[in-house]
Structure 1
């Protein structure tokens, strides 16, 4: 097997020279040749996509993200397949495992939590497999920010409140402090900030926001295990949420949502169902067309 980093570098060099022809030929949701990297969704088995369900039900080998994937999903849809927990396994172990099974004619599925496109570390596996002549593709899933939004019965974008959404993570072992832009996003005022992989650092993150000039009364909602049976919601502000989360005892597996949209606060009626809809505001209609 080629060293995974060499495979990643080779893939980057190839992409600099020419576009992958599959981009123009195949679309998301289409079942393709190779190993699918499937987003299992945030937790509830019902939030697995139809295509994802079809693929895992017919798989011979399912390599999954351990406890991040609901065991009920594995029991319901993957019971007849060999199941391998990827937690604790590096690329040097995972890539040959999937490659060999695929070359033996088995239907192989790689099951990530949420959506592989958001902090999924999927592409490095895919590049390493492609270097071994094993085709791969992505089947999108529901990311936890969307499940949290549904739980909160709100939108991440709201007219007059939040025109932008930032998916981010806090500084820590894998992110240097200079690359932590949470304060920058919150400072914009009309950004809903969704923090992944940061449950353990909520109090410290909120302290930094205050130090950087954020309004302490900015709404914050923390949704633990969004869509799981033990889902819990902790609400507060930049000033209070750290203590409230500490009291709840959650240190992982929660989505942190910062901004007025978390409370559906102060939004305005949209043009879509207002003057633009009945044709009485031509300026708004023109803007909507843009």
Structure 2
């Protein structure tokens, strides 16, 4: 086993490198390609069938899977990781995880780092990848289905709806890792045509709603909380800014729920889009007639 790395020094070095040059692999590979090194795979929201094909293939060929503990459905691990050693990353810091994955890779083992949802959304993947890359271990990302998309599928709606929600905000509430001045939920909701998807905020739904009310948000704004979207114990709590906090507290949920704020959560008040209507054909005809002049 080689010496333990200094992850912070590696991260600092890689960040400096990112600031001055783009990795050449950006131009050589696209998402979905099988690449050399350790894949950082998005496990998806929970249901094993919502794992991507690329993620499934990586897991089925793995000798070692370092996974995000209870955030990854055990049914997914049972379905695709029969032949792999499983290591729970919960409670392990970079100083332990990086040499674990590096040494396994250097020993010729196929290693997969399995994150919940999509690593690009609050995944803390890049710091691990940078530390491994600094150690000479190539890495790459395999996208996953994020919980906001699973929630919208469960709710049988879209996050964007014509004349209702033109924008989507992925955000989190203030707390131990986000200062109050960096909490923009009230701003997003105040825009009126934004579907606001709140991650990592199940424990603070009531507080978040109180802050929205204090900021002048309409109390009757629809809010839907989807606990464990796509898991066997999935639960949907319907409410408004005025009452959903109490409902979530009564249910006892403190983690693993997606909070969706806005009319799109209910699939309400939208207008027929132009995509499949006569407007599109008229526009094409007008363009053609203009080009013929």
After TM superposition, the score normalised by the length of structure 1 is: 0.96
Alpha carbons of structure 1 residues 118 and 284: separation in structure 2 relative to 1, 3 Å: farther
Deviation, 1:2, is: 3.3
The aligned residue for residue 273 of structure 1 is: 276
Q: Is the 8 A contact 1:157 1:165 kept in 2?
A: yes
Deviation, 1:280, is: 1.7
Matching of residues 206-221 of structure 1 within 5 Å: 206-221=209-224
> Structure 2 CA distance, aligned partners of 1:94 and 1:68?
17
- Verify: 1:20 aligned to 2:20, yes or no: no
Q: Is the 8 A contact 1:223 1:254 kept in 2?
A: yes
Question: In structure 1, which of residues 39, 50, 66 is the aligned counterpart of residue 42 of structure 2?
Answer: 39
> Structure 2 CA distance, aligned partners of 1:13 and 1:235?
46
- List alignment gaps of at least 5 residues for structure 2: 289-293
Provide, for residues 146-175 of structure 1, a one-character-per-residue CA deviation record: whole Å limited to 9, x for no partner: 000000000000010001000000000000
Secondary structure at the aligned position of 2:275 is classed as helix
> Structure 2 CA distance, aligned partners of 1:266 and 1:165?
17
- Verify: 1:115 aligned to 2:94, yes or no: no
Q: Is the 8 A contact 1:276 1:285 kept in 2?
A: no
> Structure 2 CA distance, aligned partners of 1:28 and 1:89?
28
Matching of residues 175-186 of structure 1 within 5 Å: 175-186=178-189
Alpha carbons of structure 1 residues 152 and 123: separation in structure 2 relative to 1, 3 Å: same
Deviation, 1:284, is: 9.8
The aligned residue for residue 81 of structure 1 is: 84
Q: Is the 8 A contact 1:162 1:261 kept in 2?
A: yes
Q: Is the 8 A contact 1:210 1:216 kept in 2?
A: yes
The aligned residue for residue 192 of structure 1 is: 195
Q: Is the 8 A contact 2:5 2:99 kept in 1?
A: no
Deviation, 1:4, is: 1.1
> Structure 2 CA distance, aligned partners of 1:158 and 1:26?
33
Matching of residues 146-157 of structure 1 within 5 Å: 146-157=149-160
Q: Is the 8 A contact 1:161 1:266 kept in 2?
A: yes
Q: Is the 8 A contact 1:102 1:108 kept in 2?
A: yes
The aligned residue for residue 291 of structure 2 is: none
Q: Is the 8 A contact 1:224 1:232 kept in 2?
A: yes
Q: Is the 8 A contact 1:185 1:191 kept in 2?
A: yes
The aligned residue for residue 63 of structure 2 is: 60
> Structure 1 CA distance, aligned partners of 2:286 and 2:103?
57
After TM superposition, the score normalised by the length of structure 2 is: 0.95
Provide, for residues 184-219 of structure 1, a one-character-per-residue CA deviation record: whole Å limited to 9, x for no partner: 100000000000000000000000000001000100
Provide, for residues 39-63 of structure 1, a one-character-per-residue CA deviation record: whole Å limited to 9, x for no partner: 0000000000001000100100000
Q: Is the 8 A contact 1:59 1:81 kept in 2?
A: yes
Alpha carbons of structure 1 residues 13 and 228: separation in structure 2 relative to 1, 3 Å: same
> Structure 1 CA distance, aligned partners of 2:286 and 2:237?
38
> Structure 2 CA distance, aligned partners of 1:253 and 1:112?
14
Aligned length: 285
Secondary structure at the aligned position of 2:238 is classed as strand
Provide, for residues 251-289 of structure 1, a one-character-per-residue CA deviation record: whole Å limited to 9, x for no partner: 111000000000111101111011234x12459989xxx
- List alignment gaps of at least 5 residues for structure 1: none
